[in-house]
Amino acid sequence: MKLEGYKLIFVVMGLIGVLLIATPALAGDIHLPSGAQFSELYLLGTNQMAENYPSNIAVGENYSVYVGVGNQLGSSAYYVLYVKFGNETDQMPNDTLSTPSSLQPLYEYRFSIQNSLDWENLLTFSVSNASISGKNSQINTLQLNGVAFNVDKPAIWDSKSATFKYQLLFELWIYNSRTSAISYNDRFVDLQLNLTRTL
């Protein structure tokens, strides 16, 4: 090989070496595309598994579920988790329009989560005042984590499933630091409940 060929090899080695040495300084300015950013909302049964969810409920009995939220947004986030209570005819959140249910929230959790971390909490609920009369039922008082709420929610006998259908709805809302507002995060889970008996 001629001297010019060796010279070229040295120049290339020099450039590669300088680039390697400058890598820590360049790393701050190079932003690789991040993965999908999203929040998770999940509901678990009493043993913190996706099983043994309460469904048939009776007045005076306590029931529990674990509700969890995961943050995969790339930075810390401040969430509000609303718990709503409705019957079969109440409007659920709309997936297509990304709108929340029109039901008023009864109970709420507020918390912030760092990126890639989860938050989980136990919700204990019970029906403390309800009535069944023929094909009509009404739940008057619902206790959520020990706080009693007047709900006065009626339900009509569903002959197909042979139940009085109610639902506990969990909606995830998130704080947007740009708009300084808390808005619906397009995530919800619902727990179908069947009122079986009153006192």
Partner 1 sequence: MALGSCLYSEPYVFAQTDQTTSKLQAANTAIEQAFNAVLDAEKAGANVTALLAQLNTAAGILAQAENSYRAGDNTTAAAQADSVLPIAQQVTASAQDAKQTALVVGQNAFWSTIAFTVIGAFVFVLALFLVWRRFKRSYIKSLSEAKPEVNSQ
Please give the residue ranges that form the binding site for partner 1 (CB under 8 A). 3, 6-7, 10, 13-14, 17-18, 21-22, 24-25, 28, 75-76, 78, 80, 105-114, 144, 147-150, 175, 177, 180
Bridge partners for 88 per DSSP: none
- For partner 1, the closer of residues 123 and 165 by Cβ is 123
- For partner 1, the closer of residues 25 and 162 by Cβ is 25
Give the nearest distance from C-beta 112 to partner 1 in angstroms: 5
Give the nearest distance from C-beta 104 to partner 1 in angstroms: 8
Are 38 and 72 in contact by the 8 Å Cβ rule? The answer is: yes
Are 184 and 173 in contact by the 8 Å Cβ rule? The answer is: yes
Phi-psi region of 34 (alpha: psi -120 to 50; beta: other; left: phi over 0): beta
Give the nearest distance from C-beta 96 to partner 1 in angstroms: 29
Question: Could you give the CA distance from residue 128 to residue 85 in angstroms, rounded to a whole number?
Answer: 14
- For partner 1, the closer of residues 136 and 176 by Cβ is 176
Whose tokens are 């010279």? That residue is 7
Question: Could you give the CA distance from residue 9 to residue 105 in angstroms, rounded to a whole number?
Answer: 71
Are 66 and 48 in contact by the 8 Å Cβ rule? The answer is: yes
Give the nearest distance from C-beta 32 to partner 1 in angstroms: 18
- For partner 1, the closer of residues 49 and 181 by Cβ is 181
Are 125 and 114 in contact by the 8 Å Cβ rule? The answer is: no
- For partner 1, the closer of residues 25 and 97 by Cβ is 25
Give the nearest distance from C-beta 125 to partner 1 in angstroms: 13
Whose tokens are 């998130």? That residue is 174
